[in-house]
Chain A
């Protein structure tokens, strides 16, 4: 930087146009700013949300791929819009990313792009994984190990998987120009070092930014309520909550498991508006659980911290880890996570 002591009388030609834009709120940047202002000045979360509806997956989805996404623990990240990302270049990206990974793994060595390494990177779209037609296509990135043995040549072991999606991301889509691809939610499964390498490559290539997406207790309660509200034909897993009591030397965890049908019955008793979940209902639902627990154990759970929620639909940890169990409500779960991710990047 040359000098900062620009005299204060320097005419600023750009200011005028931006100032005008500012008030009209015409540019994407202005829309962004407006939305942030709104979010900051009012209650950050809308007081009501829809209960996830059964199977909102678009018709053209690949059941095998969807099945692959279930029952795995994913670490969540929020991601700012990708600049100049193109779905037509996925092959090229595979090539570049695999070279980048190879180079990172042997720091200091240069490697030829497209050379044969013992790893392989694939990019593929996850068809049908969207909330509305406007949502950009979700896509999957995998790092596969190539087996050295010729006999197993076809079998690639999956070392790492990550996928990008945007479900009902309208609020974000409205505020960016067409050079950007909005996939605000990124989910990774595999070694953290691989996530780091892939993330770094994305950040360098598409000028985006990954941030770990933690889920606070407030949002966990929402998840608990919304997921309990989902209709299930049969429950495969118990509804379980985990609270953490901060005490030394070791924190104390309180686990609270309920039969899923009991949880559903409790929910039905507090639930008023059909198809929707409101803030009061969420609070009431949690309060009922607290008072029940207090009656038996004389412990005020409201004074502790909710760290994990597991239901038959999905389970989520405050660290930003999620496991989706139920195929039917995949889109519903992702829609809420997308909302949280968008809130974080605003």
Chain B
């Protein structure tokens, strides 16, 4: 019982510290009278198999824990059995735990029983209803660390119990003494790192950079039973108790001293704050007391409640991995937060970028992952980082167009809105060089990311305009300036796509991506409420109109339909407003559209193609054997639709020996239209419904 004595002695020594009073009164209370009305929180007696125990009613109403502890006087075999069977029905009252602890001090129980008791306490910790009283016994538990056998379990209990105010210099010293005596023990390490978390200025600890389990699982003995209790109490099982430190802190060793992982772990900035504590004013002190540690931030409501007193991470880069903090930096006005992120991200991108350094390609995977993380954050924020923009400026000229292609092009699509003509030499000229010398797949990806870029810019602008009218803002904050920038982007893509079509021999595949871009362009006025309509260049329009692919033609029809709607809406607004606004579209846009429309209707519907502005010598046509060309581009004969016409005829008149295309006219023409629409050519349907008067069936 020497260990018992030690415990008592040290307890006596500590009697000056905060715990002694309440501890002693509880001890007395435990000996003299028992709290018999502990009905709400009760424990059960159990048989050997605790799982069978749940059915039993708690008829005694007496604190079973007390009884168990009283068995300390008897042989250890009995109370070991009892302890093993003690499973709470719902919760354990704090009082009974305190009393039970007091029985520990009577000096009758053996070391192994104590160990079992502590293990039980750790396992049941979550079921104890309050912990304030138990926390008052902190000094007592702490003193029990002296006992070598108890030490791991007491450490575990203290780990669960420790609050900031429990961390005292004398305790730190004691723990460090123990560490020197016992060497590097995982349980001591755990407790010390917790202490360090609460008081970084008192203690310094560096954890080995590999995953470590600090505590043996004390729950094992009661595992299945506890699981059942939990399920009964809370429904589905909650997450397992977090005994290890944050997994983010456990990282693979890396080649550089700069970082174990690229993105720093999330740590509150308490360290640097406490560094300055000498200069702290009272109000600083009060506010720091109320601050909310990041490590505890787990949910959005928590963020909202504590947004005024949130402790920021010591390394701002950590926000990239934390969506809640991304919310926070999205709304914060503090420039220094953004600057910290900016500097960190710029430097990290530069350092990690693999084509900056020769022979560094083995870290390619890591860099790709890092870029992915950044892009995820940008998508989450719906906003690009300036650091990424500057990174693009610097790295695009050196990029091979192959490495991390998808990530890189996504970064391009998240370039924050700005003046296009300023950006062009920095980004788009370099991208253009790669574009023209790369495969068709690269070209398609570029169009894809330019489409996303356009979409992001439009979203920015549309929300911005609705926030406040940009009436008297200086410089380019005018809507006109912004629209100019967007229209320059669209014209640039127009130029790019025309050239690309020529380079790639009018590839249908490429054209899909180009038309996809114009699918966004044609709807700017209506979808984003921005006064801009830019038509596609002739090179794209005619390529699409004469395409052999029906889906291209369908896409074109849809875009024309949307252009029409947008232009009509714009016209209507102009008429309503009367006042000459700066954003009335020039008549050139309307003329251009009408020209395209006439060409389309002439080809597809009226069989009078290209009547204006195009003269082909009849001799040439005769030589080519297509003297009768006029109807060869209508809905029936158009190369993209010919197969539809044939299957239409075969389906309707399966017995017909010859397929007579010209027979599709009059009523049959209408049936044919319905057939086309039913085949999924919805764009065509919309186009015909909106642009063609049905009286004019050929």
Contact = CB atoms under 8 A, between A and B. Distances in A.
Interface string B171-198: 0110110010000100011001101100
B621 interface: no
B471 interface: no
Nearest to A203: B315
A181 to B, nearest CB: 12
Contacts of A108: 184, 189, 205-208
B382 A204 contact: no
A114 to B, nearest CB: 8
A88 B279 contact: yes
A100 B196 CA distance: 12
B627 interface: no
Given A204-B267, A207-B316, A210-B258, A83 B336 contact: yes
A37 B176 contact: no
Contact of B459 (A12, A20, A80): A12
A43 interface: no
Nearest to B312: A207
Given A1-B376, A96-B201, A210-B258, A11 B463 contact: yes
Interface in B428-477: 455, 459-460, 463-464, 466-468, 473-477
Contacts of A11: 463, 466
A177 B276 CA distance: 19
B382 A41 contact: no
Given A29-B386, A110-B192, A177-B336, A15 B203 contact: no
Contacts of A206: 272
Contacts, number: 216
B344 interface: yes
Interface majority SS (helix, strand, loop, mixed), chain B: helix
A196 B275 CA distance: 21
Interface string A96-124: 10011011101111111101000000000
Interface stretch (B17-25, B120-128, B415-423): B415-423
28 contacts: A1-B322, A4-B376, A11-B466, A13-B463, A15-B460, A16-B463, A16-B464, A17-B333, A19-B477, A23-B475, A29-B338, A29-B342, A32-B342, A37-B393, A40-B426, A41-B426, A80-B344, A80-B346, A89-B275, A106-B206, A108-B207, A110-B196, A112-B176, A176-B339, A179-B336, A199-B258, A206-B272, A345-B346
Interface of A: 1-4, 6, 8-17, 19-20, 22-24, 27-29, 32-33, 36-37, 40-41, 80-81, 83-84, 86, 88-89, 92-93, 96, 99-100, 102-104, 106-113, 115, 176-177, 179-180, 192-193, 195-197, 199-200, 203-211, 344-346
Given A102-B204, A109-B184, A179-B336, 20 more contacts: A3-B380, A4-B379, A8-B382, A19-B460, A23-B473, A36-B393, A40-B426, A80-B346, A84-B273, A89-B276, A103-B204, A108-B189, A108-B206, A109-B205, A180-B336, A196-B257, A207-B314, A209-B344, A211-B347, A211-B351
Interface of B: 172-173, 175-176, 179, 184, 188-189, 192-193, 195-196, 201-208, 257-258, 264, 267, 271-273, 275-276, 278-279, 314-316, 321-323, 326, 330-331, 333, 335-336, 338-340, 342-344, 346-348, 350-351, 376-377, 379-380, 382-383, 386, 389-390, 393-394, 416-418, 422, 425-426, 455, 459-460, 463-464, 466-468, 473-477
